[in-house]
Amino acid sequence: MPDIRNIPAEAWDWEKGTLKRGLLDNVCNELDKQALAFALGLRANTGGRIVSLSMGPPFAERVLRYALSVGADAGVLLTDRKLGGADTAATAYPLGQAIRKIAKDSFDGNRDYIIVSGMQSVDGDTAQVPPQIAEELGITHIAYATSFDFPEGQLQIRRITSRGAEIVAPQSYPCVITVAKWTEPPNALFSRTRWAYGQILFQWSAADIGADDARLGLPGSRTMVNRIFSPKELSRRTCVFEKDMTRLVGLLAEAYARKSKTAQEVRTEQPYQVLGGKKPHYAGEVWVYIEHNQGEVSAVSPALPFRPEFWMSCCRIGGNRKPPSWQSYWAAR
Amino acid sequence: MKTDEMVLLLGDRVALKVPSFMVPSSMSHKGDYLISVSEMVNWLGGVARDLGVEIYTGFAARELVVEDGAVRGIKLGEKGLNREGGRQPNYVPGEVLEARVTVLGEGSAGLLSEALVRRFSLGADRNAQVYSLGVKEIIRLSDQNSFGANRVIRMVGFPSRPDIFGGGAIYSMGADSVSIVLVMGLDWRYCDLDPQRELQIFKSHSFIRKLIAGGEVVAYGAKTIPEGGFYSVPELTAPGAIHREDQPSHVTFSEEGKDSGCSQEFGCHPCAAFCPAEVYKFKGDELILSPSNCLHCQTCRLKCPHQVIQWRVPEGGDGPSYRLM
């Protein structure tokens, strides 16, 4: 992924709403380093092999070299122009296909393996790709892992939940585990780095993984970015020190009314600017991922940027049950 | 470079062009090429790789390995230490890289180069090296800017006081950007001189202000420049080693430096002023160190009046990643 910690001003293409990737360094996603550390830790306990897989332009091979340099056994680069411009669904599908191929070619049909991934990329922040891979492959998915243990030889994963942490165990293999920040990113030895750069990587195209072209890249994507913008400060902030309670309530009410009005004005003044004349359209089904936690809907679920009413209706359709804490949750926002 | 002008800045308004016949031809850059060092190094790295040179970044050379009176290689820095120096789960030791020939390309004021010069007395019978500090900004101008491409203006005078060696320059970086740089000899005698502030004052001169009007700073940086000239160049080879320029590094205080009493002595903290990257800040007399700001210019190590600042290459050789400078 591009190094977004240091974006020079000239790397923004404001008209197209994109980043000029050539002006940014290509780095390994920090959370994928966490996933690598997790995989290395698992291997130290169970033995086995680590195959690192990345999808991206040819220069993404450096990320695989890093994985090899810290201990991975093999690297697979999925690279094809057809894969460019993919959203999360069109990313998960080819990755799923590549995992099927790795399992078939490399594990001789043995299904006793784990797919470990960073919980999200720090540039896209969606956290959707690993669960979508699990759905694609029809396997179990454990999200937000922070550590593991092997009591009595059985793998147990500690994961973050909206109420703290819980310990779960995969009931079947293969499974997907996504990893949160849990340790320090692995460092490479010079000698191993030199070895890593001498290794041959597997380089696969869309055809190699037997992918259906209609599900790849921009044409295969279900979402697209319409517009990208920097949020602008709507009004200047001022501090008022009011001791009279009645006047304070009046000021609050006034400010609230003013804010609502401003937000309304902004909405009407700035309609969506459609890129390249493409109108946003909707086709297909809406999938809503709702996490359950001890019989209730987890508050983490609606953390996606949807409107509350939308979520409420989804929830009613899905579970026919209104979560008791949501109104207060949204009110608090 | 199609035009090279020299201008004398007097006060914050007057700019007098020095007639070209008065400028020695050896100082003129007309007809020369101007290249961004960062871009050139990136390009050159690709060329070297294509020729089969292996380049590995992310490893800091920590010390020279010297055996039987010859350089046998270098020792890398260990990685994965915490603030207190304890080992983290990702600790890896520093390996020794052995080589028949070791070429040092550390840039200005390189630590290993200095160690080599000391170890093999390569600087005997030479002048001591002296340094200046250059602070630079790259400014994006509008497409219709009046500065134009292939132009350099070199300036002397404002804002530096007469006892400060140096000068400034503004030159094209393509048609829509300029670099503006101010160079000051590190032997300035003012304890509160802040080079970044000087650069801003420099930019406020009416002559320069007009040239960069409406521009936007897109990058900035700082580096030291060896100024000792030919007679300060040490012998460039030692048994097993060749010394060349280019590359940068972390910041600690020696034991005796913990309580050096600068504020009593000078009435201010010189490092808070001379560091162009705000690595050193003070809350009263309490030092707040921000090593991640470091631009690796080495000014602190060279300019600290008590010479108590210790600087070494940080883990993995991390430093400023200049793209345009």
Side-chain-side CA neighbours of B17 within 13 Å: the count stands at: 8
B312 vs B164: which has the higher pLDDT? B164
The lowest-confidence range among A262-266, A306-310, B161-165, B224-228 is A306-310
A188: chain B residues, CB-CB within 8 Å: 58, 92
Least confident of A7-21, A38-52, B46-60, B111-125: A7-21
How far is it, in rounded angstroms, from Cα B116 to Cα A67?
35
**Mean pLDDT taken over chain A:** 80
Poorest-pLDDT segment among A48-62, A242-256, B77-91:
A242-256
Task: Please report how the helices A30-46 and A61-70 are oriented relative to each other, as an axis angle in degrees rounded to 10.
Answer: 40
Region of poorest pLDDT, from A156-160, A321-325, B72-76, B256-260: A321-325
Q: Is A47 left (phi over 0), alpha (psi -120 to 50) or beta?
A: left
Mutant choice from A21, A36, A187, A192 vs B, greatest count of B C-beta within 10 A: A187
Mean predicted confidence (pLDDT) in B42-70? 93
Average pLDDT over residues B22-35: 88
Per-residue CA distances from A202 to A48, A59, A78, A94, B81 (Å) = 19, 14, 8, 15, 34
B165 touching chain A per CB within 8 A: no
Residue B155: pLDDT band (50, 70, 90) is very high
Q: Which residues pair with B138 in a beta bridge?
A: B179, B219
- In this predicted structure, what is the pLDDT of residue B52? 94
Nearest to A222 by CA among A232, A214, A212, A233: A214
DSSP A125-166: ----HHHHHHHHHT-EEEEEEEEEE-GGG--EEEEEETTEEE
Confidence of residue A314 (pLDDT cuts 50, 70, 90): very low
Residue among A326, A122, A94 at smallest CA distance from A211: A94
Share of chain A above pLDDT 90, in %: 48
- Whether the per-residue pLDDT at A138 is higher than 90: the answer is yes
Per-residue pLDDT for B8 more than 60? yes
Q: Which amino acid is at A116?
A: V
* Range ranked top by mean pLDDT from A296-305, B44-53, B310-319: B44-53
Q: For residue B183, name the pLDDT band (cuts at 50, 70, 90).
A: very high
Contacts A–B by Cβ distance under 8 A: 46
Instruction: Give percent above pLDDT 70 in chain B.
Output: 96
Which pTM value belongs to this model?
Answer: 0.76
For residue B217, the surrounding DSSP H or E stretch is strand B216-226
Q: What is the pLDDT of residues B92-124, one digit of tens each?
A: 999 999 999 999 988 888 999 999 999 999 988
User: Is residue B259 scored above 50 in pLDDT?
Assistant: yes
Q: Does B146 touch chain A (CB under 8 A)?
A: no
Q: Which two tokens stand for residue A284?
A: 């297909």
Q: What kind and span of H or E run contains B4?
A: strand B3-10
Per-residue model confidence (pLDDT) at position A260: 66
Stretch 181-220 of chain B: residues touching chain A, C-beta under 8 Å: 216, 218-219
Give the pLDDT score at A9: 67
Mean pLDDT across the stretch A226-244? Answer: 69
Q: Of A17-26, A117-126, B134-143, which one has max mean pLDDT?
A: B134-143
**Each residue's pLDDT tens digit, A216-234:** 998 898 887 776 666 665 5
Q: Which two tokens stand for residue B181?
A: 């740089």
Residue B29 has pLDDT above 50, yes or no: yes
pLDDT at A311: 38
For Cα atoms A289, A293, A294, give the angle at the middle one, nearest 5 degrees: 145
Pairwise pLDDT comparison (A25 vs B119), residue with the higher score = B119
pLDDT of residue B67: 94
User: Does residue A186 contact residue A33 with C-beta atoms inside 8 Å?
Assistant: yes
Give yes or no for residue B75 having a pLDDT over 80.
yes
Nearest to B138 by CA among B108, B174, B94: B174
Q: Are A107 and A50 in contact (CB under 8 A)?
A: no
Choice among A107-121, B94-108, B163-177, B305-319 with the minimum mean pLDDT: B305-319
Burial class (CB in 10 A: 0-12, 13-18, 19+), A132: buried
A190 contacts on B by Cβ (under 8 Å): 56, 59, 76, 95, 97
Asked if residue A174 has a cis previous peptide bond (ω within 30° of 0), the answer is yes
Would you say residue A325 has pLDDT above 50? no
CA neighbor of B253 nearest in space, from B301, B193, B296? B301
Mean pLDDT of chain B: 88
Give residue B144's pLDDT band: very low, low, confident or very high (50, 70, 90): confident
Dihedral over alpha carbons B138, B140, B141, B142 (to 10 degrees): 170
> What's the pLDDT tens digit per position in B221-244?
999 999 988 888 888 888 876 644
Which among B45, B41, B323 is positioned nearest to A24, based on CA atoms?
B323
**B234 prior amide bond cis, ω within 30:** no
Does the CB of A183 have a partner CB in chain B at under 8 Å? yes
* From B59, B90, B324, residue closest to A185, measured CB to CB: B90
Which residue in B has a C-alpha nearest to residue A11's C-alpha? B218
Band of residue A269 on the pLDDT scale cut at 50, 70, 90: very low
Name the DSSP class of B143. T
Question: Does the pLDDT value for residue A161 go beyond 80?
Answer: yes
